[in-house]
């Protein structure tokens, strides 16, 4: 007859599991179930299909049709230029209302072909040797050497465009009584108003050249 089992052996036999348990390590246990694809943080942060990411620079430009204005442009005040027609200008000059003076801002060449009697000339633009126009950088300074800021001045050019720009500059510089002559010298001629035409100097003849 076999001896009864030892007490320790009975304890081991009773504590053994009824079914086989498969042990797995930590790494194996952390693996997701079949069909689940692991993603890292960067992949998870990617937006869904159809969503476009934009950076700050892309977002900040204004919408289509909106014009941006910098501080300097917004700060420039609009200068209100008073424009008179040539008939009014001629009457004010003739009657010397408020000591009215006429400033011609055309080029010297234009001035030499004909001008209004008693007018003074300070070109607003110069014509370069290349045929382009360049603004006179000393325009306001030169006008200030001829007139005071309180004087009443009619400003004219060939058509009224340059003289309007000149008035804007003079108003900004503190000239208080400047007016633009609308239509300029062309309108003056068209209305038959008096002008002074410089007599061209004839070219020297052989005899006069020899005398020189």
Residues belonging to the active site: 157
Cα–Cα distance, 195 to 116 (Å, whole number): 5
Cα–Cα distance, 104 to 119 (Å, whole number): 6
Nearest to residue 165, comparing CAs of 136, 129, 131? 136
Per DSSP, helices labelled H in the chain are 7-15, 26-30, 41-45, 56-59, 71-75, 86-95, 108-113, 139-144, 161-172, 184-190, 206-211
Element (H, E) at 83: strand 82-84
CB 181, CB 160: distance < 8 Å: yes
Q: How far is CA 209 from the centre of its chain?
A: 56
Please, which residues have CB within 8 angstroms of residue 120's CB and are 6 or more apart in sequence? Answer: 101, 102, 103, 104, 146
Q: How far is CA 49 from the centre of its chain?
A: 41
Please, which residues have CB within 8 angstroms of residue 91's CB and are 6 or more apart in sequence? Answer: none
């Amino acid at each position: 007859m076999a001896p009864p089992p030892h007490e320790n052996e009975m304890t081991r036999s009773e504590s053994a599991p009824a079914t086989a348990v498969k042990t797995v390590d930590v790494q194996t246990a952390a693996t997701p179930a079949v069909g689940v694809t692991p993603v890292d943080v960067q992949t998870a942060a990617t937006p869904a299909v159809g969503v476009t990411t934009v950076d700050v620079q892309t977002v900040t430009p204004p919408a289509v049709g909106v014009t941006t204005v910098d501080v300097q442009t917004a700060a420039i005040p609009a200068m209100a230029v008073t424009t008179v027609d040539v008939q009014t200008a001629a009457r004010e000059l003739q009657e010397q209302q408020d000591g009215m003076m006429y400033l011609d801002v055309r080029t010297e060449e234009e001035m030499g072909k004909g001008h209004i009697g008693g007018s003074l000339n300070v070109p607003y633009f110069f014509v370069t040797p290349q045929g382009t126009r360049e603004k006179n950088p000393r325009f306001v300074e030169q006008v200030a050497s001829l007139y005071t800021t309180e004087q009443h001045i009619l400003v004219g050019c060939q058509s009224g465009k340059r003289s309007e720009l000149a008035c804007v500059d003079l108003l900004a510089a503190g000239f208080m009584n400047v007016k633009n002559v609308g239509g300029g010298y062309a309108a003056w001629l068209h209305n038959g108003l008096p002008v002074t035409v410089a007599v061209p100097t004839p070219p020297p003849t052989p005899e006069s050249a020899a005398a020189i």
